[in-house]
């Protein structure tokens, strides 16, 4: 086990090096130039910006307009060296370290994503199983319709529909933000106000994501139920409940564990469109604003942060295989 983990960590380092190079190259191709736009805005207001300051901002990331291959590679090495030391750089747009900005807004995205993921699994897996065990029945068709609705609806459309109904028409929940700025809640009252604000965003994420998880569970369950060992278990006289829960569902977990490899980065990446619709100060919303402004340090640091989480998520999913399936041997 330890040998396997060490080998996978070594591969992960190589993968992250490749990802860092791709991120840096793509960032250089961005059509938006934050430094140039900032300088133009400052000069329009009547102030002056020294050329040395502009050159220093470009040079810190090797992004000079006249930079050659040597300067570009040196800029990449400088950024990579800072990354190894845990320094993601300083955001152009926000003026603070990227790591600090991410930590400030990561909590909001994490809470929404974690609660939504819990409800997603609680709803999708039982519905997927019951649809598979009652194939071509009314409940199977009902689950199929729910799957199609969840997959087809755009996040911005469905979010605005829920906001219009629950907030504008019924007035049950706030339409945006995390807390009521006009109130000074503490303790339980603050938690209740926070829950009211995030209810519709969480509902939006759950409804839109539960469909694909139900479809995956149903498909895998049907495949397992048609296996020879399931027919053997039924022929031995086992109760249908034991066949489903003990034999079929355990093997259905293997593809579900594979899909959970992306769960870790999704908890911290933020639901960009949902956060935009409900004006939540999550990391997805902040990252979108940084990208629109051409904030190079934040874009590179944020994407590298997600790449690291993705590698960790894949490693954890591989380790979970040995838990759900004893036949899997990690060597």
* pLDDT beyond 70 at 71: no
At 198 the pLDDT is 83
The CATH number assigned to the domain holding 127 equals 1.10.3720.10
At 66 the pLDDT is 60
Average pLDDT for 183-203: 79
* pLDDT beyond 60 at 330: no
Q: Provide the 3-class DSSP secondary structure of residue 155.
A: helix
In tens, the pLDDT along 219-245 reads: 888 888 777 777 787 787 777 777 777
Is residue 21 a part of any domain in this protein? no
Structural domain boundaries enclosing 112 = 104-293
Q: Provide the 3-class DSSP secondary structure of residue 113.
A: helix
Considering only 115-129, 157-171, 200-214, 260-274, which range has the smallest mean pLDDT? 260-274
Is residue 112 a part of any domain in this protein? yes
144, HSE (Cβ side, Cα atoms, 13 Å): 11
The pLDDT > 90 percentage for the chain reads 0
Structure tokens at 316: 């954890």
* pLDDT beyond 80 at 165: yes
In angstroms, the Cα distances linking 38 to 31, 91, 211 are: 15, 13, 44
Considering only 17-21, 53-57, 74-78, which range has the smallest mean pLDDT? 53-57
CB under 8 Å to 299, separation ≥6 — which residues?
23, 27, 30, 287, 290, 291
At 60 the pLDDT is 60
Confidence of residue 85 (pLDDT cuts 50, 70, 90): confident
Is residue 56 a part of any domain in this protein? no
Distance of CA 12 to the CA centre of its chain: 19
Query: In which element (H, E) is residue 224 found?
Result: helix 188-225
Is residue 171 a part of any domain in this protein? yes
* pLDDT beyond 60 at 162: yes
In tens, the pLDDT along 241-267 reads: 777 777 777 777 777 777 777 777 777
Cα–Cα distance, 31 to 13 (Å, whole number)? 30
In tens, the pLDDT along 3-31 reads: 777 777 888 888 888 888 888 878 777 77
Cα–Cα distance, 58 to 47 (Å, whole number)? 20
Is residue 59 a part of any domain in this protein? no
DSSP-assigned letters across all residues of 14-35: HHHHHHHHHHHHHHHT-S--HH
* pLDDT beyond 60 at 291: yes
Is residue 96 a part of any domain in this protein? no
CB under 8 Å to 308, separation ≥6 — which residues?
16
At 22 the pLDDT is 86
Is residue 124 a part of any domain in this protein? yes
Structure tokens at 12: 């992960």
At 47 the pLDDT is 67
At 288 the pLDDT is 83
Structure tokens at 155: 């996040």
What is the radius of gyration, based on Cα positions, of the chain? 25
Considering only 22-26, 49-53, 90-94, 145-149, which range has the smallest mean pLDDT? 49-53
Q: How many domains in the chain?
A: 1
* pLDDT beyond 70 at 57: no
In angstroms, the Cα distances linking 293 to 7, 79, 93, 157, 299 are: 40, 20, 7, 25, 10
Is residue 190 a part of any domain in this protein? yes
């Amino acid at each position: 086990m330890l040998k396997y983990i060490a080998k996978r960590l070594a591969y992960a380092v190589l993968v992250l090096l490749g990802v860092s190079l791709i991120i840096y190259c793509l960032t250089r191709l961005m059509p938006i130039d934050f430094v140039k736009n900032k300088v133009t805005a400052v000069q329009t207001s009547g102030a002056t910006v020294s050329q040395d300051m502009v050159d220093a901002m470009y040079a810190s990331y090797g992004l000079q307009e006249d930079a050659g291959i040597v300067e570009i590679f040196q800029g990449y090495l400088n950024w990579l060296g800072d990354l190894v030391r845990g320094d993601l750089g300083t955001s152009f747009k926000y003026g603070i370290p990227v790591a600090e900005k991410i930590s400030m807004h990561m909590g909001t995205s994490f809470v929404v994503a974690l609660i939504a993921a819990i409800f997603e699994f609680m709803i999708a897996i039982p519905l997927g199983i019951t649809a598979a065990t009652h194939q071509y029945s009314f409940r199977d068709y009902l689950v199929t319709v729910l799957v199609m609705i969840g997959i087809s609806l755009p996040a911005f459309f469905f979010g605005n529909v829920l906001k219009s109904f629950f907030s504008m028409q019924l007035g049950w929940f706030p339409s945006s933000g995390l807390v009521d700025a006009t109130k000074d809640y503490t303790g339980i009252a603050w938690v209740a106000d926070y829950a009211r604000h995030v209810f519709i965003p969480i509902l939006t994420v759950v409804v839109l994501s539960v469909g694909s998880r139900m479809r995956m569970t149903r498909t895998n369950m049907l495949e397992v139920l048609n296996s020879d060992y399931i027919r053997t278990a039924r022929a031995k006289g086992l109760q249908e409940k034991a066949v489903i829960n003990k034999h079929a569902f355990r093997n259905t977990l293997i593809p579900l564990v594979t899909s959970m490899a992306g769960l870790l980065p999704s908890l911290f990446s933020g639901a960009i469109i949902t956060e935009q619709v409900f004006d939540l100060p999550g990391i997805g919303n902040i990252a979108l604003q940084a990208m629109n402004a051409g904030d190079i340090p934040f874009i590179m640091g944020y994407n590298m942060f997600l790449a690291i989480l993705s590698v960790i998520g894949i490693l954890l999913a591989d380790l979970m295989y040995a838990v759900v399936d004893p036949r899997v041997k990690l060597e």
